[in-house]
Amino acid sequence: MGDTSIEVGPEPPSFAQVVAVARDGARVALSAAAERAMAASRDRIEALEALPTPVYGVSTGFGALATRHIAPELRARLQLNIVRSHAAGSGPEVEREVVRAMMLLRLKTLATGHTGARPETARALAGLLNAGITPVVHEYGSLGCSGDLAPLAHVALALIGEGDVRDVAGRLVPAADALAAAGLAPVALAAKEGLALLNGTDGMLGMLVLALHDLRGLLTAADVAAAMSVEALLGTDRVFAADLQELRPHPGQSVSAANLRLLLAGSPIVESHRGPEDTRVQDAYSLRCTPQVHGAFRDTVAHAELVAGRELASAVDNPVVLDDGRVESNGNFHGAPIGYALDFLAIPIADAASMAERRTDRMLDRSRSFGLPPFLADDPGVDSGHMIAQYTQASIVSELKRLAVPASVDSIPSSAMQEDHVSMGWNAARKLRRAVDGYAQVVAVELLTAARALDLRSPLRPGPATGAVVAALRERVPPPGPDRYLAPEIAAATALVRDGSVVAAAESATGPLA
């Protein structure tokens, strides 16, 4: 596990902290303020439990069964039963990073003191994270309202020593065995705690935060690949001028255009066709309109970041303990705000990927590539070059278009019509993860193709920034030549896009890109 330690309290965690816990194994600890807030709200729950007045989830059943009054001697069983019965997920295991993000975000809500959970229960959840124990959570089971019930129930199941988990080495073991090996005791749930562990939007929010982190890097890499394509296709950089962008003052468009100007600065290839002998008045849309599309994508990401930031500052549970001691039912568990943002992000992913594929195709078509060999092949006809790399890219783009269909427009009533409108935000998050993965591969194919095209422009040389990217790629992928096994080259380029190496290479010449 990581050496970094993050204090979890009533204040929201940062995006970076969520990523550090989810991916890097950062340790967590409850803050003193969280301990105090939780103890105070717990006192209120215990006082209410002693009164005859029904309180949802404390002395009543759940969902459509909320009209049933639960006798005091059955309330411990009530909390145990909600965890067992709601741990009804199905399908493949969800990724470790998603489960860890979800665990951290549930811990964050407990730490606000608005759920009525005991500090020792929150400490037990932190203990799971710190021990590297990851409950097995399944793909299907959440309707995104009342939060991510089934996924969170599988987490809570591990807390009570039941179900299966992955230990720190990734082995599938019974939760009871993993807890014992880590020196952790199963939690005996008290009043309301089963409900408090389940009733949140933490899974979909965790996936949103992780996607936003990845997309920020991919957006810059996409600008790099686009700049290389502009250069390879003998396009112009004049359309990216700042004064032209100011005529349409979208922030993301300005940022993307500025990146493209930096990336193409000093390019001998661009300079080679600036004179009056170049009779082309303007480039195709897939080149000329890159800042407009990539910029709109950036602005969509900025909106989703605003939503995610608000959610990180939220306490999602039902009922909640308010600062004045009232315990009130509410609808804050509804996943619509997150679901809409998740669905929104899938749209520009599909569109930007489609534009990248069009640029790739232009480099392979000798009627539109301005002197490049067909399919960038070494001996066209004998060699196919990058013909099928574009097929792969097109296949992914087609899938991305399907994934752009919103999940949040659907709603299937549940719990005997008590929960008659749900968000499907978890489904939106799952498909967004697939979309982000696909987009990285699309950008990589464009990058790989553009680098080959730039090499084939020799003796003309690319600019300092794009040349540095080609050089970085050539450490993993050979220069143009006869046909060879292409799948490993696409995989290598994808890895360089994902791990930031592409952007880092460009920045070695440009300085920081946005």
Query: Which residues in the chain are classed under CATH 1.20.200.10?
Result: 207-408+419-510
* Contact partners, residue 250, CB within 8 Å, separation at least 6: 292, 295, 296, 299
Please choose, from the candidates 209, 216, 189, 11, the residue with its C-alpha nearest in 3D space to the C-alpha of residue 102: 209
* Per-residue pLDDT tens digits for 356-370: 999 999 999 999 999
What per-residue confidence (pLDDT) applies to 75?
Answer: 83
Burial class (CB in 10 A: 0-12, 13-18, 19+), 33: middle
Q: What is the mean pLDDT of residues 184-208?
A: 96
For 8, list phi and psi in degrees, rounded to 5. -105, 120
Q: Choose the weakest-confidence range: 92-96, 249-253, 280-284.
A: 280-284
Confidence band, pLDDT 50/70/90 cuts, at residue 297 = very high
Strands 90-93 and 134-135: unpaired
Are the CB atoms for 447 and 505 separated by under 8 Å? no
* Per-residue pLDDT tens digits for 396-412: 999 999 999 999 999 99
What per-residue confidence (pLDDT) applies to 77?
Answer: 87
Are the CB atoms for 100 and 94 separated by under 8 Å? no
What per-residue confidence (pLDDT) applies to 44?
Answer: 93
The answer to whether the peptide bond before residue 319 is cis (omega within 30 degrees of 0) is yes
Report the alpha-carbon distance of residue 462 to residue 175 in Å, rounded: 56
What per-residue confidence (pLDDT) applies to 421?
Answer: 87
- On average, the pLDDT of the chain sits at 95
Q: Which fold has domain 5-200?
A: Fumarase C; Chain B, domain 1 (1.10.275)
Which residue, chain included where needed, has tokens 């995989």? 491
Confidence band, pLDDT 50/70/90 cuts, at residue 2 = low
Are the CB atoms for 197 and 108 separated by under 8 Å? no
pLDDT of 3 above 80: no
Query: Which residues in the chain are classed under CATH 1.10.275.10?
Result: 5-200
Are the CB atoms for 197 and 170 separated by under 8 Å? no
Q: What is the DSSP string of 117-182?
A: --HHHHHHHHHHHHTT-EE--EEE---SSSSSHHHHHHHHHHHTT-SEEE-TT--EEEHHHHHHHT
- pTM, 2 dp: 0.96
Q: What is the CATH number of domain 207-408+419-510?
A: 1.20.200.10
Which residue, chain included where needed, has tokens 């009922």? 319
Are the CB atoms for 430 and 207 separated by under 8 Å? yes
Instruction: Please state whether 415 falls in left (phi above 0), alpha (psi between -120 and 50) or beta.
Output: left
Confidence band, pLDDT 50/70/90 cuts, at residue 73 = confident
Query: What number of other Cβ atoms are within 10 A of residue 480's Cβ?
Result: 18
pLDDT of 274 above 90: no
Query: How many helices (H) and strands (E) would you count in the chain?
Result: 20, 9
Active site residues: 56
Alpha-carbon distance values, 53 to 58, 71, 326, 348 (Å): 10, 12, 13, 51
**CA-CA-CA-CA torsion sign (331, 336, 342, 348):** negative
DSSP structural state of residue 115: S
